[in-house]
Amino acid sequence: MYRRIPSNKVKAKAVQQVAEPDADELFEMANLFPRTTGLPMTIWVSPRGNARHDVRVEANMTHGDQMNISNTATVGLRPAPHLMAGRLSPDDQRAVYEWISLNTAALVEYWDGRIDTIELGRLLKRIP
C-alpha cells in the first residue's frame, strides 16, 4: 500500500510515495509519547526487521498521545534528518529533526538490532 502526497503539498525533489507499514511492521513499532521525547506528538520507531528501506521514524501529524499510523509523516535519519512523506509544521519539523539528531546513535543501534526496546528507552534523550 502507498500513501499519496498531493504534489502541491510537497516541495521540489521530495519523495511523493512511501510504503505504509504492513501489519508486521506495525507490530514491531515502539510508540514514544510526548512526555518521553519532549516532542509535541507521538513518534514510532522500529527495528529493521525485513524492511528494504533505511532507518526512519514515523511522526504523528497531530499533537498529543495520538497513535494513528495513517496520520503520520515519515522522517528519514540518514545522511541527515529529512522529510520523506507527510507534512509537519516548520516548528514540528525543527523539533523532530532536533530529537533525531540528539538520538541518532541509539535509533540506528535499535534499527540494526544491536539493542532492544528497553535499552533504547534508556538511551533516548528528551529534547528540552
- Check whether 16 has a pLDDT greater than 80: no
Phi-psi group of 110: left, alpha or beta (phi > 0 → left; psi -120 to 50 → alpha; rest → beta): alpha
Helix (H, G, I), strand (E, B) or coil at 70: helix
What is residue 75's DSSP assignment? Answer: E
Return the pLDDT at 52.
87
Alpha helices per DSSP H over the chain? 23-28, 34-37, 90-111, 117-123
Lookup result for grid cell 510537497? 10
Count other C-beta atoms under 10 Å from residue 25's C-beta.
18
The pLDDT score that the predictor gives to residue 26 is 46
pLDDT on residue 20: 53
**CA-based angle 109:68:72, to the nearest 5?**
60
CA distance 91 to 24: 32
pLDDT (average), residues 65-76? 92
Average pLDDT over residues 87-91: 97
The stretch 76-98 carries a mean pLDDT of 97
Give residue 3's pLDDT: 44
Q: What is the pLDDT of residue 42?
A: 97
Whether the Cβ atoms of residue 106 and residue 126 lie closer than 8 Å to each other? no
The pLDDT-based confidence of 51 (bands split at 50, 70, 90) is confident
Structural domain boundaries of the chain?
2-123
Contact yes or no for 109/115 (Cβ under 8 A): yes
| Res 68: pLDDT | 87
Higher pLDDT, 23 or 39: 39
Name which residue leads in pLDDT, 63 or 14.
63
| Amino acid in position 82 | H
Does the pLDDT at position 22 exceed 60? no
